[in-house]
Structure 1
């Protein structure tokens, strides 16, 4: 075998050809880096460096084609068209329940993959968060405090905050901090008194200063958790319809532009405000399904989340609407 002295110095064309040969031998002929080096008189270190260079230059593209793989092109387009710093987009499934589960799992994985695990996580509740709590992996954090971002249910219903916070905290080897108040009460006077109550004020303070805030987006419908739990009364539903509400974030109802639609309901709500959400260090909105397209658009337009975790169908609709707005502004 000839001595391994490294490749002779050559021009750019020879260098490109050498990169091509390294890639072909490794990826097409399935030779190990050691075997490629022996074939081309390179060290294993040189082969590894050239494979990285080929990936960076686009000579080699690695594509994951699993049906649950993320849609990175859509993610990039959403970030480009909005104030989002990051998007996570997974394929839409044939069944809405399966889509919700896939998005919840993606959100759980996003939390688990954060470079620095949060010491404090503020979390809202609902069906999507129940699915996230079931999907979050063990030891996703170490000693995390999981704090309730808005008041809970006035009567038992889907997406119970107690079970959600307990599960997420347990999997993160931490503790849960509950907000012992309903999400929406009967009168502004009662709401104001509850917000002044020291234990509630303390929990809200912890939620405001959390490292990460995660919340689902709720639609305005008879099937929503807030309606089914009795937090939103029939008269409130009429008012929301008249004001053009498209959904809620932590129990705060907004219109298509992301503005609050009802000072009356706002005064009766207990939890983080939209200003608190906008000021969060890292805010992650989790949403799936056709029924949530309008509220997803409102959330992104109003800059109420840094990160959006959603399905490809919602992402496509959002992309087209945001692109249309951008085109209109450029006229």
Structure 2
């Protein structure tokens, strides 16, 4: 085996010290050098960026100007919540913020549509008051571990709003376009999808078209995933794929989806969108380009990523 390069040596020593918790003396013995040389190499590894140390103060928020970010992104409103290490706590923070925005925006007599995600399922539990309005389910069911289902979500909001509900008694993704067409002809499903043409307010979640960034990606096979990528998909919203420049993707998946369409969301006067994590930055920008985002609820990590991209673009 050939001798490691100097950069590989820096990486090996950095891993041994910072990740494997080995002492400088032990590392020096392994490599036949002095502990003072180890110290110098660790300094060099940090200076060269081979070792990157990040300290995050858990109770100290990131300074993000939400008004400036909204203006830079071209949306009406941005709501930023703290980024925390615990996944459920993070989801609940964003759910509470989404619930507050829904209660803030809803008016008596409105038709309110809501899609499904684990965050939006939690959000519905935090909605404790709404004016009398109607509630439409915007996407079929896609059960995931630890999540509820969209039928319960819509019924819960309907009880709070004391209005009529339009549930969509169907899965989000079916095995073929023919199956989806058959389901769309069923009166209850047809009524819900027709109501999406006349929404006053909608609440949706934004996913990225990639592993662990979209519940739909995780539930379809590799051929469907790749077909979406081949068509330029970067974002997923209610099962609908969107390209970086904001165009709906007409992939093999699209006719198999039972949910609100991108054109229907474009016609909706107000759309509240929820997204989390810097890996979804491109997806958020795609949905903004598609003109389906007015209020954006996001975490600090994603806000910083979007802010950074806006600075680079500027």
TM-score for the superposition, normalised by structure 1: 0.68
| SS class of match (2:284) | helix
**In structure 1, C-alpha distance between the alignment counterparts of 2:279 and 2:88, rounded to whole Å:** 13
The equivalent of 1:30 in structure 2 is none
The equivalent of 2:298 in structure 1 is 310
Q: 1:141 to 1:95 in 2, by over 3 A?
A: same
Q: 1:104 to 1:298 in 2, by over 3 A?
A: same
The equivalent of 2:175 in structure 1 is 186
**In structure 2, C-alpha distance between the alignment counterparts of 1:142 and 1:304, rounded to whole Å:** 24
1:106 Cα offset (Å) = 0.7
The equivalent of 1:226 in structure 2 is 216
- Residue by residue over 1:230-275, the C-alpha shift from the partner in whole angstroms, topping out at 9 and shown as x without a partner, is 4x23421232344443231111012333333343211222221111
**In structure 2, C-alpha distance between the alignment counterparts of 1:182 and 1:239, rounded to whole Å:** 21
**In structure 1, C-alpha distance between the alignment counterparts of 2:310 and 2:132, rounded to whole Å:** 39
Judge conservation of contact 1:118–1:212 (CA < 8 Å) in 2: no
- Residue by residue over 1:21-58, the C-alpha shift from the partner in whole angstroms, topping out at 9 and shown as x without a partner, is xxxxxxxxxxxxxxxxxxxxxxxxxxxxxxxxxxxxxx
- Equivalent positions of 1:29-44 (< 5 A) are none
- Out of 40, 58, 65, the residue aligned to residue 74 of structure 1 is 65
**In structure 2, C-alpha distance between the alignment counterparts of 1:251 and 1:286, rounded to whole Å:** 15
- Out of 200, 203, 207, the residue aligned to residue 214 of structure 1 is 203
Judge conservation of contact 1:219–1:247 (CA < 8 Å) in 2: yes
- Out of 258, 266, 272, the residue aligned to residue 260 of structure 2 is 272
1:316 Cα offset (Å) = 1.8
Judge conservation of contact 2:228–2:253 (CA < 8 Å) in 1: no
Q: How many residues align?
A: 254
Structure 2: any 5+ residue segments left out of the alignment? 1-58
The equivalent of 2:100 in structure 1 is 109
1:119 Cα offset (Å) = 2.8
**In structure 1, C-alpha distance between the alignment counterparts of 2:275 and 2:226, rounded to whole Å:** 24
- Equivalent positions of 1:140-179 (< 5 A) are 140-153=129-142, 158-179=147-168
- Residue by residue over 1:110-151, the C-alpha shift from the partner in whole angstroms, topping out at 9 and shown as x without a partner, is 112237356321000011111212222x2x213332211122
| SS class of match (1:298) | helix
Q: 1:280 to 1:109 in 2, by over 3 A?
A: same
Taking only aligned residues, the RMSD between alpha carbons, in angstroms, comes to 2.7
The equivalent of 1:44 in structure 2 is none
1:175 Cα offset (Å) = 4.3
Judge conservation of contact 2:78–2:297 (CA < 8 Å) in 1: yes
Please say which structure displays the higher CA radius of gyration: 1
